[in-house]
Amino acid sequence: MALIQSEPGLAAHDAVGTRLAALEAIRKRPPDLVIVDLVLGDEDGLDLVKEIKARHPGIPSLVLSVHDEAVYAERALGAGALGYVAKHQLDETVLAAIRQVLAGETYMSEALQRRLAKQYIGGRSLETASPVRMLSDRQLQIFRLVGQGRTTRQIAGVLSRSVKTVESHLAHIKDKLAIETAAELAQRATQWVESGRIGGSSPIRQDGGLP
């Protein structure tokens, strides 16, 4: 927020921590850009990106994440975001990313551009060192909730799904990650989310246009 506020022509407003709060802030005061953290407590930032795209197609979103770009960047772009910034590169790239997205262009790191180019040329998805990348968006969300210590019943409540549905997802997650027990799944999921738990979204406005 401070970095954005210090930049001529930009102003950050209404930093919030939940999907509903973000949607309400956008409704009341439509911004020029929404910065979305993929970790929104129990919620998933990808769902917020999809809702912004559906409800406010003229408002672009830029995604932040503490997690591996290879796992999340393509998901974020596929959900409708126009850019993806890894948090460890935040200070170096976020202002450039904001300006590029506000100009109507897509922001991607050079590494992501190279990976997508190779996939396009090869006509197939590349192998990755992270098996978590094989999970669907919903499975990845459930994996993160497990890592936050949520029980199956609690996850079902968060997602408004039946316990049976969540159990089915958990079984598929274990198959894809070659995990045999619930304890091992919990351990792997906890390791996945331990790098950061606090998230939010920040609507950005251009004050007086871009310099």
pLDDT of residue 199 exceeding 80, the answer is: no
- Topology adopted by domain 131-193: Arc Repressor Mutant, subunit A (1.10.10)
> Which architecture, in CATH terms, is 2-122+195-206?
3-Layer(aba) Sandwich (3.40)
Could you tell me the pLDDT band of residue 1, with boundaries at 50, 70 and 90? low
Q: How do the domains of the chain map onto residue ranges?
A: 2-122+195-206, 131-193
Query: Long-range contacts: 78-84, Cβ < 8 Å, 24+?
Result: 79/46, 79/49, 79/50, 79/53, 79/137, 80/49, 80/50, 80/52, 80/53, 81/36, 81/49, 82/106, 82/107, 83/107, 83/108, 84/108, 84/109, 84/112
Query: What is the pLDDT confidence band of residue 179, given thresholds at 50, 70 and 90?
Result: very high
Under the banding of pLDDT at 50, 70 and 90, the label for residue 200 is low
Q: Calculate the dihedral angle through the C-alpha atoms of 198, 201, 207, 211, rounding to the nearest 10 degrees.
A: 70
What is the pLDDT at residue 163? 96
Res. 41 pLDDT band, cuts 50 70 90: confident
Q: pLDDT, tens digit, for every residue of 89-111? A: 777 788 889 999 999 999 988 87
Instruction: Read off the pLDDT of residues 42-73 as tens digits, 9 standing for 90 and up.
Output: 788 899 999 999 999 999 999 988 776 777 88
Distance CA 76, CA 69 (A): 10
Mean pLDDT of the chain: 83
Q: Which helix (H) or strand (E) holds 34?
A: strand 33-37
For the chain, what percent of residues have pLDDT higher than 70?
A: 85
pTM over 0.85: no
Helical ranges in the chain per DSSP H: 2-5, 19-28, 45-55, 69-79, 90-102, 110-122, 137-147, 152-159, 163-176, 182-193
Q: In this model, does residue 157 exceed pLDDT 80?
A: yes
Q: Which of 19-28, 37-46, 153-162 bottoms out in mean pLDDT, i.e. has the lowest?
A: 37-46
